Amino acid sequence: MATTRAPAVRIGDGQGRITVGIAATTWLGSWLFGNVAGASLVAALGYDGADTRVPVWVTLVAALTLWIPILVALRLVGVRFGLGSWRADYGLSVRPIDLVGVPVGVLAQLVLVRLVYWPLEELWPHTFSSPRLEESARDLYDSADGVWLVALVFVVVIGAPFVEELLYRGLLQGAFVRRVNELIAVGVVAVWFALIHFRPVEYPGLLVIGLVLGACALVTRRLGLGIIAHASFNATGLIWVATR
């Protein structure tokens, strides 16, 4: 009896009902609602955007108001169109072997991304200089101290990798690999992941790490390796900025 190859993220039979259209709509709805809610709450708390350096509390509030709708939407979609299981529907599973993601993330940050930017910096030194690339991360780090530094680490190293891997690799890539070639699916979602950060100077690096994280899900058919690699990538970037 012939068997079919498993999809890029190991899912149950019912998860196949999450189409590209449903996944894209879920992403758009939760993303828009979260950003509008975050902007409204930050404004209600008194931040008017006059400061060029965004306070860490604003980043934390914006992140939480974005993540909560995303997680709620993922849960509702999983229950409605999947099996109602984070593991079965989105591949959320972490194993000891996924600690390999630590060197993967570190090397991606310190070696792979810098290899990508090296020719760009040679051709356009002003646009792709190290200070320009590190500007947003440095401003964020410089605005944090004490408990806010702990909050920053939570956002960058724990929260963002977890939620973004669920959303982009678990939901979107999981839907795309059932519709198109797996490599095309990884590329499409990596581009999507890069563009939505709205930092053009960082697009090459974001695209590279998006491809790496997509490959992690493709190879392991789970999200554990990608989550740890993503967390290590972000942590390495934060440490790099903090020690320079």
Q: What is the rounded distance in angstroms from the CA atom of residue 169 to the CA atom of residue 214? A: 6
Cβ contact 233:103 at 8 Å: no
First to last CA, the chain: 60
pLDDT, tens only, 128-168: 888 888 888 888 888 888 888 899 999 999 999 999 999 99
Token duo for residue 173 = 């890539």
How many Å is the maximal CA-CA distance in the chain? 66
Other beta carbons within 10 angstroms of residue 158's beta carbon come to 14
Enumerate residues 6+ apart whose C-beta is below 8 A from 147: none
Instruction: Encode pLDDT of 42-76 as tens digits.
Output: 999 888 777 767 888 999 999 999 999 999 999 99
d(CA 98, CA 232): 12
Q: Is residue 31 packed enough to be buried (19+ CB in 10 Å), middle (13-18) or exposed (0-12)?
A: middle
pLDDT of residue 24 exceeding 80: yes
Q: Contact at 8 Å (CB) between 201 and 133?
A: yes
For residue 170 the two structure tokens come to: 């678990």
Total residues found in the chain within this entry: 244
Those residues with Cβ within 8 angstroms of residue 111's Cβ, 6 or more apart along the chain or in another chain: none
Distance CA 104, CA 82 (A): 31
User: What residue spans define the domains of the chain?
Assistant: 13-242
pLDDT at residue 10 greater than cutoff 50: no
